[in-house]
């Protein structure tokens, strides 16, 4: 009940877009950046799935790049659609998070 996995619903898209705004990244890297940002409970499969979904939706570009420290890496980056989606989603999040925070504080204000 009110687990992080449920809180993530819908917001993971936004988090991934935000991370990619700061530079192209591949799945494993995006995962590490999200966890470093405070989203410790994100599962790897969720990130890979989200990247695939956003790519299929036309919000991301994608290209392979070999690595010297392991397997190939599939890089993703924001395109114009992705940046617009990020902007719209950020607004929605701000409205939503603002409403929630106000709701949680209401008692103290009274």
Asked if residue 28 binds DNA (CB under 7 A), the reply is: yes
Burial class of residue 31, CB neighbours in 10 A (0-12, 13-18, 19+): buried
From DNA, a second copy, none, interface partner of 100 (C-beta below 5 to 8 A by class): a second copy
Asked if residue 45 binds DNA (CB under 7 A), the reply is: yes
Query: Based on CB atoms, which residue is closest to DNA, 13 or 78?
Result: 13
CB of 109 to DNA, least distance (A): 25
Asked if residue 27 binds DNA (CB under 7 A), the reply is: yes
CA-CA distances (angstroms) from residue 69 to 12, 63, 65, 66, 105?
27, 18, 12, 9, 48
CB of 98 to DNA, least distance (A): 18
- For DNA, the binding residues (CB under 7 A) are 1-6, 8-13, 26-29, 41-46, 48-50, 52-53, 67-75
């Amino acid at each position: 009940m009110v687990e992080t996995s449920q809180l993530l619903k819908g917001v993971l898209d936004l988090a991934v877009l935000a991370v990619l705004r700061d530079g192209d990244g591949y799945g494993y890297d995006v995962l590490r950046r999200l966890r470093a940002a405070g989203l410790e409970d994100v599962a790897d499969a969720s990130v890979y799935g989200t990247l695939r979904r956003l790519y299929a939706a036309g919000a991301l570009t994608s290209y392979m790049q070999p690595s010297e420290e392991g397997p190939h890496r599939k890089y993703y980056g924001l395109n114009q659609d992705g940046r617009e989606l990020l902007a719209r989603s950020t607004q929605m999040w701000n409205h939503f998070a603002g409403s929630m925070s106000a709701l949680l504080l209401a008692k103290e204000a009274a």
